[in-house]
Amino acid sequence: MENGHAKNRVAVIGSGNWGCVASRLIASNTTKLPSFYDEVRMWVFEEVLLTGNKLSESINQVNENCKYLPGIKLGANVIADPDLENAVKDANMLVFVTPHQFVEGICKKLVGKLRLGAQAISLIKGMEVKTEGPCMISKLITDILGINCCVLMGANIASEIAVEKFSEATIGYKKDKEVAIRWAKLFTMPYFLVSIVEDIEGVELCGTLKNVVAIAAGLVDGLDMGNNTKAAIMRIGLREMCAFSKLLFPSVRDNTFFESCGVADLITTCLGGRNRRVAEAFARNGGKRSFDELEAEMLHGQKLQGVSTAKEVYEVLTYRGWQELFPLLSTVHEICIGQLPPTSIVEYRIH
């Protein structure tokens, strides 16, 4: 019990790589925190495995997701459930961690099915930046379900957190600090430190815009320009992420970009990550093979978020006449579509 309120019950909507790791973190904490029921229900988009078993049944039998997070026990109190409504019906804390294109459909199915006073948090990176304004995933959830929604972002490579390597995350919230603290308690582990900031837009935009900067960093790698140039490009990228976010939402705060969701996630993404990797290959080929072609070859059907985000951001910049203010963000798109050569990434001037 916390502050005399009813005990909290958590449901995780999604059971991919990050969804399983999140469930594992949460399940470890719910057994320790008296204000939470132990059980964590995890909604599974049902699949039939090659063995003929159903994914949800397999998870409940071996306490592992053998397809998306093999070798990692989730915790005995994680219960896989293929029935969305059933998974969430008793929960007052909902964790959204699905691919971003499924959020809208899932939310529509849940309208009128949630407990009174339910709270949500989104772990989903990849909002779209539309000309009429960014389509924040937290806002989509709030608008459809009429509930408050925080976000959790950061330098979070699921496979590294799964084996308990030290890292951090940032929770962005809007007004209700008590709820943000409750979410932070639910995720925090000695190897996973969570901070909270009252800047939901800043936190969520970081998780998307960093992919554009990762393309720039990958181009520098492919041009063999060295760490000095790469560091300069990452810095300029961070500055433009911050300035762009502030123009879109004047409430966005500089300090958010010093949090895990900002500089740390940017560093991780620019050191590893597929956006960086494909952009490196693009530059090594002198821009002669398109991103589409390289993506198909290197990512087996997955699409690069950075390329599409760069295009969306570019549309906003041209529509609003902000292009000159964001030379790096603009240049990345112009290189992606073959309008400029890869070497242009280091040839613009800072305004």
Bridge partner residues of 94 (DSSP): 11, 120
User: Least distance in Å: CB of 60 to a copy of itself?
Assistant: 29
Residue 170, classified by CB atoms within 10 Å of its CB into exposed (0-12), middle (13-18) or buried (19+), is buried
143 Cβ contact list (under 8 Å, min separation 6): none
51 Cβ contact list (under 8 Å, min separation 6): 58
User: Least distance in Å: CB of 85 to a copy of itself?
Assistant: 35
Catalytic residue, chosen from 125, 139, 174, 210, is: 210
Quickly list DSSP for 113-124.
-SPTT-EEEE--
Report how far residue 47's alpha carbon sits from residue 68's, in angstroms, rounded to the nearest whole number.
12
**Secondary structure string (H, E, C) spanning 186-224:** HHCECCEEEEEECCHHHHHHHHHHHHHHHHHHHHHHHCC
**210: annotated active-site residue:** yes
53 vs 343, which CB is nearer to a copy of itself?
A: 343
137 vs 345, which CB is nearer to a copy of itself?
A: 345
**Interface positions with a copy of itself (CB under 8 A):** 155-157, 160-161, 165-168, 190-191, 193, 195, 225-236, 238-239, 242, 254-255, 257-260, 263-268, 271-272, 346-347, 349-350
140 vs 233, which CB is nearer to a copy of itself?
A: 233
User: Least distance in Å: CB of 327 to a copy of itself?
Assistant: 11
CB 270 within 8 Å of CB 212: no
Q: Which residues of 251-265 are buried (b: 16+ CB within 10 A; e: fewer)?
A: ebbeebbebbbbbbb
> Could you tell me the CA-to-CA distances from 18 to 25, 33, 97, 157 in Å, in that order?
11, 22, 7, 8
Tokens 């937290």, located at residue: 138
User: Least distance in Å: CB of 217 to a copy of itself?
Assistant: 10
Cα dihedral value 59, 65, 66, 71, nearest 10: -110
116 vs 350, which CB is nearer to a copy of itself?
A: 350
Report how far residue 276's alpha carbon sits from residue 281's, in angstroms, rounded to the nearest whole number.
9
User: Least distance in Å: CB of 71 to a copy of itself?
Assistant: 16
> Could you tell me the CA-to-CA distances from 168 to 85, 113, 124, 268, 342 in Å, in that order?
31, 33, 16, 12, 33
265 vs 312, which CB is nearer to a copy of itself?
A: 265
117 vs 272, which CB is nearer to a copy of itself?
A: 272
User: Least distance in Å: CB of 233 to a copy of itself?
Assistant: 8
Length of the chain (residues): 351
Residues with active-site annotation: 210
